[in-house]
Amino acid sequence: MENKIRGIHHVTAITADAQDNVDFYCGVLGLRLVKLTVNFDAPTSYHLYYGDGVGSPGTVLTFFVWAGAYRGQVGPPQVTSVAFAVPEGALEFWAERLRQHQVQVEEIGDRFGESVLGFDDPDGVRIELVAAGSPMAGSGPVEPGRAIQGFHSVTLSEEGYEKTAKHLTDVFGFQAEAQTGKRFRYRSGSGEHGSVLDVLCLPDAPLARLGGGVVHHVAFRTPDDAQQAVWRGTLCDLGYNVTPVIDRQYFHSIYFREPGGVLFEIATDGPGFAIDEPADELGKKLMLPPWLEPLRGKLERILPQVQVPDWPGAVLSV
């Protein structure tokens, strides 16, 4: 079977404040909260999932809520920035909109011929908007000509890039595409959302430490359980330490560390976020997987209330 990674499935980061996080990603960036649930491995804390209207693979940014956590250390080996695609010509709108919400934005820069706008979210996660999409797509409270369309790429910071590069090309089937300075670009053949990966070689930077404002892991797409099983076999044969398949309710996952040390996940495209609530009701109330449902009463007493804006809500503008 021709088994190549189709690009990014989701990215998971850590926030210290659930409400600030919802206000920023829904209220400012115009993403939809597609699932309000708990961290299945630590169910007394929230796990927030944002995405396009239905949480399509390639659009989903998720956060573990570590309430009141100290800020972590951004550095290798880690995903150190998350880039979303926006339509050509939309960056000036976004720069102005972010400034109006007291977000410090950098000057619009150029990377491999594409315009990039960089800023930090309220916890310090570095987000980038890349002018790379067509102006037709998009949904949600930001008018379609400007809205975030899904992932463009992530940047992995590594002490050395060679072993990670070899993994991306020889195992995942990405193509080495370009280099500028310490940044090396790889692309999956799918051409879908999130098909780009940059590796930044930072041998002298302080090493990563988990905490608020850092990315926990990046997940890559596989279409179904059968192809995921092939991936698991391939990775085990190569000597990687891979977890068993874990049921994440909205997708099925395996995890391993790539040779540079970043936590990778391979997640199935399905069953998706409409498996336990109607598509037009996503994210409005706390959803629990069947095995945690007996704890609902206790969890609802422990977890803080989160106010989630209506979707699609009013059209947001500068």
Interface residues with Zn ion (CB under 5 A) are 12, 219, 265
CA dihedral 5, 8, 12, 18 (to 10 degrees): -150
The least CB distance from residue 135 to Zn ion, in Å, is 31
What is the smallest separation between the CB atom of 65 and Zn ion, expressed in angstroms? 15
| Phi, psi (deg, nearest 5) at residue 275 | -70, -25
Compare residues 12 and 188 and give the one whose CB is closer to Zn ion: 12
Minimal distance in Å, beta carbon 248 to Zn ion? 7
Shortest Cβ 217–Zn ion spacing (Å):
6
> What is the nearest approach in angstroms of Zn ion to the Cβ of residue 6?
16
Shortest Å, Cβ 263 to Zn ion: 9
Helix, strand, coil: what percent of the chain each, to 5? 20, 35, 45
Q: Which is nearer to Zn ion, 38 or 86 (CB)?
A: 38
> Alpha carbon 253 to chain centroid distance?
15
| Distance of alpha carbon 306 from alpha carbon 41, whole angstroms | 20
C-alpha span between 50 and 63 (Å, rounded) = 9
Q: 94 or 273: whose CB is closer to Zn ion?
A: 273
Give the integer Cα–Cα distance in Å for 130 and 27: 20
- State which residue, 26 or 79, has the beta carbon closest to Zn ion: 79
- Sequence-distant contacts of 91-100: CB under 8 A, at least 24 apart: 91/115, 91/117, 91/129, 91/131, 93/146, 93/318, 94/129, 94/146, 96/318, 97/28, 97/316, 97/317, 97/318, 98/28, 100/318
Task: Return the structure tokens found at 232.
Answer: 């698991």
Q: How far is the CB of 265 from Zn ion (least distance, A)?
A: 5
Q: Which is nearer to Zn ion, 58 or 138 (CB)?
A: 58
Residue nearer to Zn ion on the CB measure, 183 or 248 = 248
CB 78 within 8 A of CB 214: yes
Which DSSP symbol is given to 275? G
Q: Rank residues 12 and 115 by Cβ distance to Zn ion and give the closer one.
A: 12
- Looking at beta carbons only, is 148 or 266 nearer to Zn ion? 266
**What b/e sequence results for 23-39 when a residue is b if at least 16 CB atoms lie within 10 Å of its CB, and e otherwise?**
bbbbbbbbbbbbbbbbb
Tokens standing for 67?
A: 């309430």
Least Å from the CB of residue 201 to Zn ion: 25
Task: Say which amino acid occupies 181.
Answer: G
| Distances 7 to 96, 104, 113, 174, 197 between C-alpha atoms, Å | 30, 30, 21, 9, 9
- What is the rounded CA–CA span in Å between residue 19 and residue 299? 17
- Closest contact distance (angstroms) between CB of 271 and Zn ion is 15
Based on CB atoms, which residue is closest to Zn ion, 63 or 93? Answer: 63
